[in-house]
Amino acid sequence: MTTMEERLAYADRVAEVWASRYRVPPIAGRIAGYLYVCDPAAQSIDELAMALQASRSAVVGSVKVLELNGLVRRARGAGERADRVRLVFDETRGFDATRYREAAEIAQAGLGLTEDAGQRALLEATASLNAFLAARMPQLLDEWQATR
């Protein structure tokens, strides 16, 4: 059985990665990390604030950030007075080709605005990579779903 200290250490580790890689506030990463390993899996705002020794307002703000990004969901059970926050997993998240298509189009449009060879090479590489990823995302999603 894990201790609270181990769970909090894990939450801190997730926070470090998420803050550096995904540019979210460290408290948002701590919340996500804690929600991965806490018991029960759904926690109220007050429970999160107490466990993470964070202010209620910091937790509320970070839960909103996580919620806007589709990483958590709030729900209130019958007779409960407070929402419970739970991590959600969308297996299609990250496979949306739209953002890659848009990045390819933007880079392609930039080619008409410069004649500098270095800038053109950068834009061409950006357009090419993003077009490739946009084309591959549906297939990668199918492959991922086949492994599940």
Q: What is the CATH number of the domain that holds 30?
A: 1.10.10.10
Integer angstrom CA distances of residue 117 from 51, 124, 125, 129 = 55, 10, 12, 18
> CA 59, 41, 12 angle in degrees (round to 5)?
50
Q: Are residues 119 and 59 in the same domain?
A: no
For the chain, 148 residues long, give each residue's pLDDT as a single digit of tens: 689 999 999 999 999 999 999 888 999 999 999 999 999 999 999 999 999 999 999 999 999 999 998 899 999 888 888 999 999 988 788 888 999 999 999 999 999 999 999 999 999 999 999 999 999 999 999 998 999 8
Q: Count of domains in the chain?
A: 2
Instruction: Assess whether 109 and 36 both reside in one domain.
Output: no
How many helices and strands in the chain, by DSSP H and E?
A: 6, 3
Q: Which domain holds residue 137?
A: 98-147
Residue 93 within a domain? no
pTM for the model stands at 0.77
Are 113 and 76 members of one domain? Answer: no
Tell me the residue type at 80: E
Question: Are 55 and 103 members of one domain?
Answer: no
